[in-house]
Structure 1
Amino acid sequence: MSAVAPYLKAIASRRTVYALKPQLPSNVTLQDVQSVVEAIIKDTPTAFNSQINRAIILTGAEHKRVWDETVNSVQGDSGKKRPASVRDEAFGTIVFFTDDKTTEELQAKFPVYASIFPQFADHSSGAAQIQTWTALKQLDVGGHLQHYNGYIKAALPKSIPLEWQVHSQLVFGLPAVDELPQKSYIENPVKIFS
């Protein structure tokens, strides 16, 4: 069990951090973040080894532009608060996608599974998102996961393929708080049946 302790500790230490500064920790570069994302996208399991996960990283003016368009697209003032804070306080955003063209090819090739390939894509994307979030926490990068999918898709650079389906946005930066919030847990034992 001791061999997996660091991995389990990394999972347990990941937290949602909304209070961010628009910078990275002093010992972390944007290339470090890029390397983490690339490794996780490459090594996250996918159904039939379809390798459907995709990601981009938005920083600087492009990060601000995409989130500003999102703020302006959301109806009602209460819905604008979170995307406005992302635009103004975060260093960047990792946008996670799956490639629908690949999913459609799998559906045609394996029609018996056609109806569940989109669900397989969701599972794999979720795994990539959480693994990335956990890995960045190990670099002392804070973050939170958002789902402004339709708004973000409309605001993304036009070079992003149309068949890439947006799944989430991992907003990241330097935590603006010294102590991360404690997490409460429910009783949820895993039973063994044999």
Structure 2
Amino acid sequence: MSATVQQFLKAIAARRTIYALKPELPSNVSISDIQEVVQAIIKDTPTSFNAQGNRAIILTGDSHKNVWNSVVDAIEGESGKKRPTSARDEAYGSIIFLTDDKTTEKLQTDFPAWSAIFPSFADHTTGSAQISTWTAIELLGLGGHLQHYNGYVKAALPEGAIPQEWTVQAQLVFGTPAAPPGDKSYIENPVKILN
């Protein structure tokens, strides 16, 4: 196996959920670096019929804190507030992944025989963008965790921040790791070759 493939697989294996974050960036990383990574991944993630329906925005500073504060306030019961409070107080920012519903609807109109499965295709491609971004920002020295407070986050975004037809799919909360990730266990799950 080539060294390039080994490096790629090592990066995938090293990606972990890191909840213990500091609200800062590593000294050699700028928010422009993160924006460049996200932009490249949104651009190059494959989409059905090259529809390019993935979208993303990055929240930092007051925008990040205000959105997560609204999420905390919207959740009933103290146990449900733990993770969004951590996102608000311990992270530097959030990458909000979205899909453009108009893109999916156009595909459904243009290819009616496949209409029912285009929403699933949109889910697949946003998931690919999320994991690729998560792996890439960890290569920058950041830590992160993926959240799904989708409706709460969309309601909390400043008016006009995104078009109404964009659906929030996930939030990648990021910052400098405050502690290493925990160990990961694996199940037996062999990939078979059928001839």
TM interval, short-chain normalised: over 0.9
Query: Of 167, 170, 181, which aligns to 1:168?
Result: 170
Q: Tell me, yes or no, if structure 1 residue 12 matches structure 2 residue 13.
A: yes
Task: Report the more deviating stretch, 85-94 or 179-188.
Answer: 179-188
CA positional deviation for 1:182: 1.5
Unaligned runs of 5+ in 2: none
CA positional deviation for 1:87: 0.4
- After superposition, residues 81-160 of structure 1 pair within 5 angstroms as 81-159=82-160, 160=162
Q: Distance in 2 between matches of 1:108 and 1:75?
A: 40
- Scaled by the length of structure 2, what TM-score is found? 0.98
Q: Deviations over 1:32-51 (max 9, x none)?
A: 00000000000000000000
Q: Distance in 2 between matches of 1:74 and 1:152?
A: 12
Q: Deviations over 1:46-71 (max 9, x none)?
A: 00000000000000001000000000
Give the RMSD, CA atoms, in angstroms.
0.6
Q: Identity, % of aligned pairs?
A: 66
Equivalent position SS for 1:167: strand
1:172 alignment partner AA: F
Q: Distance in 2 between matches of 1:157 and 1:164?
A: 14
Q: Distance in 2 between matches of 1:39 and 1:112?
A: 32
2:174 alignment partner AA: F
1:150 alignment partner AA: G
Equivalent position SS for 1:16: coil
1:43 alignment partner AA: D
CA positional deviation for 1:180: 2.3
Q: Distance in 2 between matches of 1:91 and 1:129?
A: 18
2:163 alignment partner AA: P
Partner of 1:79: 80
CA positional deviation for 1:158: 1.5
Equivalent position SS for 1:51: coil
Partner of 1:66: 67
- After superposition, residues 18-33 of structure 1 pair within 5 angstroms as 18-33=19-34
Unaligned runs of 5+ in 1: none
1:173 alignment partner AA: G
2:144 alignment partner AA: G
